Amino acid sequence: MMHNYRIGIDVGGTHTDAVILDQEFNVISETKQQTTTDVSTGIYHAVKEVLDSSNVPKDQINYAMLGTTHCTNAIVERKRLNNVGVIRIGAPATLGIKPLVGVPDDLRNILGQHVHIVRGGHEFDGRTIAELDTEKIYEIAHDLKGKVDSVAITSVFSPVSTEHEYEAYNILQEVLGDDVSLSVSSEIGSVGLLERENATILNAAVVNVARSTADGFINALKKEGVDAKVFFGQNDGTLMSVEYTVKYPILTIACGPTNSIRGASYLTNQSDALVIDVGGTTTDIGVLTGSFPRQSSLAVEIGGVRTNFRMPDITSVGIGGGTIVRENSDGTIKLGPDSVGYQLQEKALVFGGDTVTTTDIVVAKGLAQVGEPSHLSNLSEDFVDQAYRTLVENVEVAIEKMKTSAEPIPVILVGGGSILLPDELEGASVVHRPNNFGVANAIGSAIAQVSGQIERVFALDELGREATIEHAKQLAMNEAINAGASENDLEIVDFEDVPLAYLPGNATKIKAKAAGTLAE
Amino acid sequence: MRYLGKQEIEDIAIGAALLGTGGGGDPYIGKLMALQAIEEHGPIKLLDPEEVPDEAVIVPSAMMGAPTVMVEKIPSGEEAITAFESLKSNLSTEIYATMPIEAGGVNSLLPFALAARQGLPVIDSDGMGRAFPELQMVTFYLDGLSATPMVLSDEKGNGMVLNTINSVWAERLARGATIEMGGSVMLAIYPMTGEQMKSSSIRNSLSLEENIGRSIREAKEKNYNPVDSVLELTNGYELFQGKVKDINRKTESGFARGTATIEGIHHDKGKELELNFQNEHLMATADGELLCVTPDLIAVLDAETGMPITTEGLRYGARCIVIGMPCDEKWRTEQGIATAGPGYFGYDVNYTPVEQLNEQEGNHDA
């Protein structure tokens, strides 16, 4: 009998997890491998291990989903970044703060080699500030030729009118051809010029990293005899094709926490809950609302750069399974923030090491069974109790921060380190511990839906409001189907319309996003 | 006289957020404009009010419009210069220095960018000692100075000179023009002499912001509690410690109005604080008892870092310390209270200074 299997992979700071699911999403095999410095080797090990430990015929693996930190790492480490051209359309406005002012100097030196500001842009109501200086765009395009890998284009109030960004896009493409990748700000961020521009520049900077990651992943699969369709996880919990990933690599940032939230939702069948993912070094707490992660409403920093693009709202506490426990001189307990990380199996007392970790504390408390408990005989009961109380209290404070009301809500515990936490937590109505909790993130990656999105200005006078909205939703659904979504359970997951005054024809900007499961 | 470099501007921006009492617009844009201007033109000269000759002409600089427009359509930096040049020729005189009309929020930082570009000094004072939402809510208005002649300029090069019968008309006409000009403009406003500045402005408010910002930064670096030194610098009171339990917002006639309920922790356990805001935090009451009300200042600080939290930044579960600080004596006159006291904002309480409200209680020490 032919089956339809899929591989899901999630790359975290400490571990790279992989799962194989069948078409009913049952977990066939799972593995946890160490994340390697180059990331790709760890992915290869995980792919190999999860295949070897299952009897799944390789030709029946049709999909492979990857949630990865390649792009985040490139930005944080300032390595392997593209030569970027930066074009801002907005003069005479905006000259008071030039592109990349406020960005850390080391990154500014790398990304700020080819910066241009040209006349153009729009007002908040869609009127033009100035006509676009197309002659200057041609001049810049010829100047950039041969010098850059990608170009970031940002125009003032492009979330209201995309006109000037696309005019510039067309000129740049005409001159530079297909070899230079173009990133357009209105497709990446919302109102807030500097933050959107920064996100667009970062996007342009990691295009090649995304491309080589995708190639590497496809090759790793091929090497193992798997010829699957490849998808990348994005930070809203949906998948994108390789072509889309290479165009919008910035959307892969923070897909890890999103995957674990979506995986936790799937494993417990909950749509509204708090998800606590305890890793080796940190505990990430996110909020599941309507089966998707709650998005942050505040400016988000990536590698020290302020951006405003959509990100899951996550709070992190420096407590994980490898967190080092110390006693302060006044007798109080200090947890971390440093961790023994992946060296837990060598350094923790319970494994014969010499470092007191949170894992030792829960084993000493009798709440978990790993390693050799007799190694813990030197820990005083008082110390253990106090350390445990501090640990739980710190997580409870973070829970309180993330909740939106005083009502207790369900809590889902996932991640390898979740054995640290008790079955009762303040603020939680119930604590769920699903099966396969250790690889919830890889499962979240594997079960993710496919999405399609449109963002366009429509003249409501032509069709009328209702019909226009329907039309826009249909366009988004078509995009999703083109990306590989099934027609059967396609849904509009995000919709926004912004009326634009001062424009003829009752113009409205509509943004619609549709998502559905992968078509078989 | 002294010079301000990048670190001073960073510190002033934190102090400006604190004196912004939850509103005033994010100082971020103003800070970056000032930093770029310093990079290009060098440090900025800061004058003590006493160093300014009586007969010198002083023109404050400020932005008007929606902060949400300014974060997208960032100023070119030329607007403020156009407005200055235009007012200069209208007055047929040289301008000696500039200053903010508002300590608190984005307007506290914007004059620095102008000053750096024009080589003008900035005077260490302002017209509010905090942030307020309307043009007439300045000490210059209380002292009978005229907001006009004033000039509004946009980045396109348009300038508009206003001569109005009073500041309320200036506010009304300028608001309308601001929308037509694209939602955010720069003003050259309240031209005055050095003598008038000395008697009417609130002195050393920029140094106060800098000291507040520095103490919060150093507290963070050295890992000690920043609130005590903020209270000492501002003669303030710790009103309440708690966590945000409920927030109720609505946008009415362009203002973000609402209330936040904060549940007490530590020595305030069992009590509840209600915080009323309209762009700025305006009134704090605990279990029906008034703790602080406008024109006195109320700031909400993050309990861990001491960093000020804006009204938009208030979120359920946030642990915070609410502090009250006395306003300048000028706001405590009959006219000051009529202009920016609780009655003007629609709160049915009588103004009582924060010192009295908290000394009577006797449980909080300055």
Which of B72, B183, B316 is the closest to A403 by Cβ?
B316
What local confidence, expressed as pLDDT, does residue A7 receive? 95
Asked if A98's CB is within 8 angstroms of B317's CB, the reply is no
DSSP B12-24: HHHHHHHHTTT-S
The DSSP bridge partners found for residue A247 are none
Cβ-Cβ contacts under 8 Å for B278 (sequence gap 6 or more): B133, B255, B256, B257, B345
Tell me, yes or no, whether B152 and B254 share the same domain.
no
Cα distances from A315 to residues A104, A112, A158, B242, B300, in angstroms, run 23, 31, 31, 19, 21
How high is the pLDDT of residue B366? Answer: 39
Q: Answer whether the bond into residue B308 is a cis peptide, omega within 30°.
A: no
Of A127, A193, A397, the CB nearest to B72: A193
Question: How many CA atoms lie within 13 Å of B182's alpha carbon, on the beta-carbon side?
Answer: 29
The Cα of B34 is separated from the nearest Cα of chain A by a number of Å equal to 9
Chain A residues within 8 A of B29 when measuring between CB atoms: 97, 194
**Chain B closest-CA separation from residue A430 CA (Å):** 19
Q: Which residues of chain B have pLDDT under 70?
A: 251-256, 360-366
Q: Do both B152 and B265 map to the same domain? A: no
Q: Where in chain A is the domain with CATH 3.30.420.40?
A: 1-78+208-253
Are B156 and B244 found together in one domain?
no
Contact A404 B316 (CB under 8 A): yes
Contact with chain B for residue A130, Cβ under 8 A: yes
Distance CA A516, CA A172 (A): 34
Q: CB of B78 within 8 Å of any CB in chain A?
A: yes
pLDDT tens digits in sequence order for chain A, 520 residues long? 567 899 999 988 778 999 999 988 999 999 999 888 888 899 999 999 999 999 899 999 999 999 988 888 889 889 899 999 999 999 999 999 999 998 999 999 999 999 999 999 999 888 899 999 999 999 999 999 999 999 999 999 998 889 999 999 999 999 999 999 999 998 888 788 999 999 999 999 999 999 999 998 998 899 899 999 999 998 888 898 898 899 999 989 888 888 999 999 999 999 999 999 998 888 999 999 888 888 776 667 888 898 877 678 888 888 999 999 998 888 889 998 888 877 888 899 999 999 999 999 999 999 888 889 999 988 899 999 999 999 999 999 889 888 877 789 999 999 988 999 999 999 999 999 999 999 999 999 999 888 888 877 787 888 888 899 999 999 999 989 888 888 988 988 888 776 665 555 667 778 888 989 887 6
Asked if A291 contacts A265 with a C-beta cutoff of 8 angstroms, the reply is yes
Task: Judge: A123–B73 Cβ closer than 8 Å, yes or no.
Answer: yes
For residue B18, give the CATH number of its domain.
3.40.1610.10
In a domain, B208, yes or no: no
State which residue of chain B sits closest to A121, comparing Cα positions: B73
Q: In this complex, do B71 and A401 lie within 8 Å of one another by their Cβ atoms? A: no
Nearest-Cα distance to chain A for B127, in Å, is 25
Whether residue A401 and residue B72 make contact (CB cut-off 8 A), yes or no, is: no
Q: Are residues B30 and B143 in the same domain?
A: yes
**Contacts with A, B 251-310, CB within 8 Å:** none
Scanning B163-182 for CB atoms below 8 A from A yields 182
pLDDT single digits (tens) A225-279: 999 999 999 888 889 889 889 999 998 988 888 899 999 999 999 999 999 999 8
Asked if B319 has any chain A CB less than 8 Å from its own CB, the reply is yes
Q: Give the residue from A384, A367, A254, A391 showing the smallest Cα distance to A319.
A: A391
With CB atoms and an 8 Å threshold, state whether B71 touches A194: yes
* Contact residues, chain B, for A91 at CB < 8 Å: 76
The domain boundary residue, chosen from B149, B170, B203: B203
Closest by Cα among A390, A429, A406, A274 to B263: A406
CA atoms lying within 13 Å on the CB side of residue A43? 25
- How many domains does the structure of chain B reveal? 2
Size of interface A-B (CB pairs under 8 A): 91
Exposure of A191 by Cβ count < 10 A (0-12 exposed, 13-18 middle, 19+ buried)?
Answer: middle
Tell me what pLDDT residue B337 has: 97
B157–A contact, CB cutoff 8 A:
yes
C-alpha–C-alpha distance, residues B162 and B172, integer Å? 11
A400/B contact by beta carbon, under 8 A: yes
How many of the other CB atoms lie within 10 Å of CB of B130? 31
- Candidate from B32, B75, B183 with C-beta closest to A101: B32
Same domain? B248 vs B307 = yes
Report the alpha-carbon distance of residue A459 to residue A286 in Å, rounded. Answer: 39
Is A94 in Cβ contact with B74 (below 8 Å)?
Answer: yes
The CATH number given to whatever domain includes residue B337 is: 2.40.390.10
Q: Is residue B212 part of a domain?
A: no
Nearest CA in chain A to B110: A96
User: Distances from the Cα of A147 to the Cαs of A82, A106, A177, A180, in angstroms?
Assistant: 10, 20, 13, 10
Whole-complex ipTM: 0.87
Flag whether B218 is in a domain: no
Q: What token pair was written down for A506?
A: 């009752």
Q: How far is CA A210 from the centre of its chain?
A: 14
In chain A, CATH 3.40.50 sits at 82-205
Domain membership of residue B116 (yes or no) is yes
Q: How far is A332 from chain B (nearest CA, A)?
A: 17
Which of 3.40.630.30, 1.10.645.10, 3.30.420.40, 3.40.50.300 is the CATH number of A1-78+208-253? Answer: 3.30.420.40
What was the pLDDT predicted at B256? 67
- Indicate if B23 and B162 belong to the same structural domain: yes
Residues B199 and B235 in one domain: no
C-alpha span between A453 and A515 (Å, rounded): 9
Measure CB to CB from residue A401 to each of B32, B71, B318 and give the nearest one. Answer: B318
Instruction: Please state, in angstroms and rounded to a whole number, the distance separating the CA atoms of residues A249 and A238.
Output: 14
**Residue A174 token pair:** 């005409």
Number of other CB atoms surrounding residue A53 within 10 Å: 14
Q: What stretches of A224-357 show up as alpha helix (H) in DSSP?
A: 242-247, 255-268, 344-347
The shortest C-alpha distance from B184 to chain A (Å) reads: 10
Domain, as residue range, for B115? 2-203
B263 shares its domain with B138: no
- pLDDT confidence of residue A457: 74
Please give the residue of chain B at the shortest CA–CA distance from A399: B317
**Alpha helical stretches, state H, A375-464:** 381-402, 440-447, 460-463
Tell me the shortest Cα–Cα distance from A271 to chain B, in angstroms: 21
Residue B313 is predicted with a pLDDT of 79
Q: Are strands B122-123 and B44-47 parallel, antiparallel or unpaired?
A: parallel
What is residue B363's predicted lDDT score, i.e. its pLDDT? 47
B232 and B160 assigned to the same domain:
no
B156 interface with A at CB cutoff 8 Å: yes
pLDDT at B255: 62
Q: Are residues B245 and B336 in the same domain?
A: yes
Distance of residue A420 Cα from the nearest chain B Cα, in angstroms: 23
Are B77 and B117 contacting, i.e. CB atoms less than 8 angstroms apart?
Answer: yes
Residue A494 pLDDT = 80
User: Does the residue B366 lie in any domain?
Assistant: no
Of B39, B113, B315, the CB nearest to A96: B113
Which residue of chain B has the CA closest to A125? B182
For residues B324 and B230, is the Cβ–Cβ distance under 8 A?
A: no
Which of chain B's residues have a Cβ under 8 Å away from the Cβ of A104?
none
In a domain, B249, yes or no: yes
**B73 closest CB neighbour out of A94, A98, A401:** A94
Q: Prior bond to B149 cis, omega within 30?
A: yes
**In terms of CA atoms, which chain B residue is nearest residue A397?**
B317
Across the interface, which of B69, B71, B74 has its CB nearest the CB of A96?
Answer: B74
B163 plus B69 within the same structural domain: yes
Residues B188 and B296 in one domain: no
Amino acid at A490: L
Place of tokens 């297909």: A178
Query: Is residue B16 included in any domain, yes or no?
Result: yes
CATH number of A82-205: 3.40.50
User: Is B35 in CB contact (< 8 Å) with chain A?
Assistant: yes
Asked whether the beta carbons of A254 and A277 are under 8 A apart, the reply is: no
In angstroms, the separation between the Cα of residue B141 and the nearest Cα of chain A is 30
User: Which residues in chain A are contacts of B247 at CB distance < 8 A?
Assistant: none
